[in-house]
Amino acid sequence: MIRYFKVYDFKQHGNEPQQLNTTRTIDIEGKRICLARTATGYYAVDDKCPHAGAHLGRGGWCEDEFVVCPVHRYKYNLKTGQGKQGDYIKPYLVQMRADGVYIGIEKKWWQIW
């Protein structure tokens, strides 16, 4: 089961609430997520770099369809989470709707909302 959380409201934040090729860290239900915006849209991945533990949304940036870690410049594909160095980060579903940007978080049936 996937629950979607609105992270940008176009009426409140405008039609382009985040600059191109930037990242930011957001917290959804206690989970830190890196929200990235590229020329092709918004992407959401785990915020923590598996290599050094840096926050990808704080100081990281986007190059093409990759998020770049601010510490050692490791790159992770924003669609698949696959790192160029062989490790990976978890990608999350993102939906662009008429009223804003939403991130989908999967919950197991036994977890309480």
pLDDT digits (tens, 9 = 90+) for 65-74: 999 999 999 9
User: What local confidence, expressed as pLDDT, does residue 112 receive?
Assistant: 56
Amino acid, single-letter form, for residue 33: I
pLDDT digits (tens, 9 = 90+) for 22-44: 999 999 988 999 999 999 999 99
Domain ranges (residues) in the chain: 2-106
The model carries a pTM of: 0.90
Percent of the chain at pLDDT above 70?
A: 95
Measure CA 86 to chain center.
19
Q: How far apart are CA 5 and CA 12, in angstroms?
A: 15
- Could you give the angle at the alpha carbon of 11 between the alpha carbons of 10 and 14, nearest 5°? 55
**Domain 2-106 is in which class?**
mainly beta
Measure CA 69 to chain center.
13
Q: Give the chain's mean pLDDT.
A: 92
- Residue 51: CA count within 13 A, CB half-sphere: 17
